[in-house]
Structures are given as structure tokens and as C-alpha cells.
Copies of this chain bind each other. A is one copy, B any other.
């Protein structure tokens, strides 16, 4: 995607090692909080490479970001727009619109975005308040497995651009959001397939007047780069003759694998005994909380030869693991992370 600027979604993994490397590689950064902005600045980025991409911000955090030099802000409501107009005057703003996202493994609800009709009015209002009505953003859902899902939202953005133009407001940026997948149990289309589908959709809806483009990969950039190692703590059956074994690990929903919620993200699992006969297992974490079950319905199988003390690995665990862990539920410490 040669015309698209990358804003790394810091929330996926804010490790200083990752931020520093991305600063060197020329990336920009999508941040969710003042704390993330400070982390990115500490990693060496200049503030012009930072987007304050959360649509839910305290006004004092907007004011502080503005002091730090940040000039790019997301919003999706009149209330948030007023805060930005007051505390970050003259900044570039983009309005997030609601899109229906299907076929995403971690879909986004209606929590973010407003109706396109409202976005039109809010961006018009932004221009009237001395802000730079920069453009539109949307999100097609995290771990989006269908590259065609961008088309609808891009079409809606183009329609808003036309309506804004008729009002004399020159929007010029489309923020394509996140959604690029990591490689979990199912194969995913290569990044080139996403690039092609998005480029075609942009051309279809904008013709030869392509606006600036931003994309905000998080999982898609760092997900496949991480491995989570767990120790088998217990292998148990609930009654004599049970066909399904319970395998309990020292990591679970509360210390690293929160995205197994509702069995949404299905990690690939490697064991030191792969290659021999396998049998059905239920995988669970170590806490005394019964919601700390990773996979019960997903049909995972592990080797019959698996033993207590074995180390197993969850692949593609680089995103939404370290910071999703709790501060110490059940006394278990947060997971240790190493960057190599």
C-alpha cells in the first residue's frame, strides 16, 4: 500500500522495544491515551507522527496532548468535538463513522462511530470552529478475514466527502482503521490481497481524486511476531472414562490470553510432543475463576503423551497479550515479556 501512511495501533503492544523500532522505520502512531502518547514520544517520535485516535478523551488530556505538540484528533460526537475545538484549536480532526462489520473474529460494536449523516454535520461544524476538517475514519473489525469489508465504508466516506465539498469543506483524508489479521488457526489472505481490495475500493469510490490514506494496523503488524509459553500444571478427568481431558496451564484469560473470551481468537498451539496421537482437550488457566477456561467448544486436540511440566507455545501471541493481563488476579504475576 505505497500511498498509505502506517499509524501503528500502540494498544496492541506498547513495548518500548517495538515503539523504538517503528520510530526508526518511519512509522506513525495511533494512540489511545495520554500515557500512550508519552510512551511514543519517549521512544523518539516527533508529535507530528502521532494521532490521538481514541474518540473518548478527557478534555485535560486533549489539552496536554496539544501542549506536547499533537495536532491530529479523532472524534465521533458533538461533545468530543467541542472539547477538541476548545483545547486543541486549529488541529486536524477526523470523524469516525459506524460501519456494519461482519466476518471479523473480534468485531466492533456500536461503541465507536456515528451515523454518516451526523458525521457530515459534525465535520461541517468543525470547519466552522476553526478546526481542520481533515477526514473520515472507520473500523471494519479486528482480525477481519474478508478483504472486501472495506468497500462499504470507503463508499460511505466518499459520499460524505462529496457532500462536504458542496458545502465548501475540503476533507482530504480517509483513515482505513485496523482489521488486518494475524495468523491464528485459520489461514488468512496475504496482506497483498487486502492492499488490492482496498486500492480497488478507493479507486471505485474516489476515481482519480484519491485522498490521503492512513491505516492503523496493530495485530496485523505485531501479532505474528510473538510467542506465549505456558507450562502444563495439571491434566485431569472429571470422572472415570471421560474422553475429554482437562489441561490446565499457568497462563489463562487473566494473564495473557484474554482474547480467548468467547473463544474468539483461536491460537495455534505447539507442544514438545507433537507428531504422536492426539485426543480432545479442554484448555484452562490456573486461576480459581471458572471463566478462566480458554477453549472448551473449539475442538482443540493435544498429544495423549502430554505431561505435567511440559511447555506449550501459543503462536502469534504478539498482540493484545501483555497489557491485557491483570495486575495479579489470584496472586499470579503479570506475564514476563522478552523482546529479541
Contacts and interface: CB of A to CB of B under 8 A. Distances in A.
B108 A58 contact: no
B233 A57 contact: yes
Interface stretch (A163-171, A187-195, A199-207, A285-293): A285-293
Q: How many copies does the complex hold?
A: 2
A231 B61 CA distance: 13
Place the interface of chain A in its size category: 35 or more
B35 A77 contact: no
A108 B290 contact: yes
Nearest to A231: B58
A32 B290 contact: no
Given A114-B238, A236-B77, A288-B11, A323 B327 contact: yes
Interface in A291-340: 291-293, 296, 308, 322-334
A181 interface: no
B58 A111 contact: no
A144 B14 CA distance: 39
A246 interface: yes
A143 interface: no
Contacts of A308: 59, 79, 83
B80 A291 contact: no
Nearest to A264: B291
Contacts of A334: 327
B330 A33 contact: yes
Nearest to A307: B79
Contacts of A261: 261, 291
26 contacts: A11-B288, A11-B289, A11-B331, A14-B328, A33-B331, A35-B332, A36-B330, A54-B287, A55-B234, A56-B234, A56-B286, A58-B250, A76-B236, A77-B234, A77-B236, A79-B234, A80-B236, A106-B291, A107-B290, A114-B237, A114-B238, A115-B239, A121-B240, A323-B330, A325-B327, A326-B327
